Amino acid sequence: MNKELAIDVRGLVKRFGEKTAVNGVDIAMPRGQVWGFLGHDGSGKTTTIRMICGLLTASEGTGRALGFDIHKESARIKARAGYMTQKFSFWTDMTIRENLEFVARLYRLPDIASAVRKTLDKLGLSDRQHQLAGALSGGWKQRLALAAVTMHKPQLLLLDEPTAGVDPQARRDFWDEIHRLSLSGMTVLVSTHYMDEAERCDRIVYLANGSKVAEGTVAEIIRESKLHTFRAEGNGVRQLSESLKGQAGLDHVAYFGAALHVSGSDPAAIERTLTDYGHPNVVWNEVRPSLEDAFIALMAKAGVDHRVHS
């Protein structure tokens, strides 16, 4: 057992009847880091998180979380972990304070009043403590949920799409808090669809079709994609995108904001195609591939999901 690892799981498999949701996932995550867990809907992220924290029993595979066996010591893992679900799962007809008091009792905290007061202050919830949870906006619900799953000071924090549906400022505030928690020694594994959030992580794990297809830092993921990307802005770019799709050398064509990105493995082939399909108002420049370019390539490489669906 490696005591430096917060998560050390190997060959995790989860089947639901005939459907294989997760197929042989390995994760070795050091303590005190923030890792991003990426993948499209149905890729197996939530199922993997639930196996790690003991909420689901793996069909195959072995592993430890916080040094405890995920099969035999799941109760000990749950007591030391915080898990924030994708859907708001607290009591909407109770106030913020009442929700936190209830959670404090569940965790059997010794001084409930003190724990709730400190949590309210730390997450900026004191002024809203008597507001019903059901009346909160998405950002404030998110803040309440984070307060509830961290008030017992877990060693491991598992966050499943925690910022879906909240505004950009709330997302930024949330991530500031995540890094503050990490600096205090907490280990954080967070699933996300947002590339800017993934870039805030120490390391990224990417799942596709239930399997791990990539792991590394942002720079490593981009480098290992072996992509060459060209970018263009200007009048006519959006119209040009449709004519470029499927052309020689262009593996991926995607529109980002006001710019068009085309990517492939052979820069010479890309340039030939861009010359053949030129536009007088469009100027192309080779740029460093973005993380999103890399993940589009990974999704294409993963191909069709061949898992059996029930």
The pLDDT of residue 64 is 97
Q: What is the pLDDT of residues 35-90, one digit of tens each?
A: 999 988 889 999 999 999 999 999 999 999 999 999 999 999 999 999 998 888 89
Mean pLDDT of the chain: 91
| Residue 310 confidence class, pLDDT cut points 50, 70, 90 | very low
Q: What is the pLDDT of residues 249-275, one digit of tens each?
A: 999 898 887 889 999 999 999 999 998
Whether residue 294 is predicted with pLDDT greater than 80 in this model: the reply is: yes
**Domain assignments of the chain as residue spans, ordered by start:** 5-221, 228-288
* DSSP count for the chain of H helices, then E strands: 11, 14
Query: What is the Cα 73 distance to its own chain's centre?
Result: 26
Each as own residue / partner, the long-range contacts of residues 256-259 (CB below 8 Å, 24 or more positions apart, any chain) are 256/290, 256/292, 258/233, 259/231, 259/232, 259/233
Pick left, alpha or beta for residue 153 (phi over 0 → left; psi -120 to 50 → alpha; otherwise beta): left
Same fold, 5-221 and 228-288: no
Higher pLDDT, 1 or 129: 129
The pLDDT of residue 266 is 95
Inter-helix orientation angle 291-302/218-225, to 10°: 60
Which class would CATH give 228-288? alpha beta
Whether 279 and 257 have beta carbons less than 8 Å apart is answered as no
Q: What is the pLDDT of residues 114-125, one digit of tens each?
A: 999 999 998 899
Whether 4 and 153 have beta carbons less than 8 Å apart is answered as no
Whether residue 142 is predicted with pLDDT greater than 80 in this model: the reply is: yes
| Residue 138 confidence class, pLDDT cut points 50, 70, 90 | confident
Least trusted range by pLDDT, from 62-66, 133-137, 166-170: 166-170
Whether residue 100 is predicted with pLDDT greater than 90 in this model: the reply is: yes
In a 10 Å sphere around its CB, with 0-12 CB exposed, 13-18 middle and 19+ buried, how is residue 280 labelled? exposed
Q: Coil, helix or strand for 95?
A: strand
The pLDDT of residue 166 is 79
Q: What is the pLDDT of residues 198-257, one digit of tens each?
A: 999 999 999 999 999 999 999 999 999 999 999 998 777 877 888 898 999 999 898 887
The pLDDT of residue 134 is 92
- Phi/psi at 55 (5° precision): -80, -20
Amino acid of residue 281: N
Q: Which CATH superfamily is domain 5-221 in?
A: P-loop containing nucleotide triphosphate hydrolases (3.40.50.300)
What is the mean pLDDT of the segment spanning 285-297?
90
Least trusted range by pLDDT, from 24-33, 118-127, 185-194, 256-265: 256-265
